Amino acid sequence: MNARRAAHPRPKRGGWTRLITGPTFVASIAAGFATPAIPGFAAYKVLNIIAALYGLLSVVVLSEYLIRRTWWQNLVANRISRVVIWIQFNVPVGLTVGAVLNLFHSDGSKTPAFSLIKTTLWVTVVSVVATFILEDTVVRPLFRALAVSAEERARVLGFYLLIMGLATQLAASVLDLLG
């Protein structure tokens, strides 16, 4: 077993991660199906919600009250970071699947569903790239210099969430401006 795997062993499959990501995926499919039918729907509004959730999670992760506690550092670095990876992938994919289902089921205008599909496909691509960065810096550090304490990895995750929230908010603002 190499040093990287010894320092950060792979978690058992399933468990509580599946309890969180499974319902999140189903809820995002339902949201992708339902949101195009909302009067006044615009894809940038979905991005605003996602950006707000990123920001909220970053504030919780970086909370000075919690970040000083060893149990929180380990939870964030070893568990929450893995859940973030799954949710970051599952939500845009679920929204896309739901919007595609809406296309086949809806008798009304297809424009809102197409708008959501186009936006969530771009979000999926960005999320996949960002997920690689998150995994290689927090979950299973790729280089020895990155394999730092759980506290540092928790702070990196909080910074990552903050940057993703701000970038998502910026993308939503540009879509609103152009739309």
Amino acid (1-letter code) at residue 98: G
Give me the pLDDT at residue 53, please. Answer: 92
User: Where is average pLDDT lowest: 17-21, 58-62, 103-107?
Assistant: 17-21
Which DSSP letter does residue 1 get? Answer: -
The encoded tokens of residue 119 equal 């936006």
pLDDT in tens, 74-93: 888 888 888 888 888 899 99
In terms of average pLDDT, the best of 35-39, 97-101, 134-138 is: 97-101
**Domain limits of the chain?**
14-178
- Token pair of 67, please? 């970040």
Q: How many angstroms separate the CA atoms of 62 and 151, rounded?
A: 10
Choice among 17-21, 29-33, 49-53, 64-68 with the minimum mean pLDDT? 17-21
Percent of the chain with pLDDT over 90: 22
> Please, are residues 123 and 172 in contact by the beta-carbon 8 Å criterion?
no
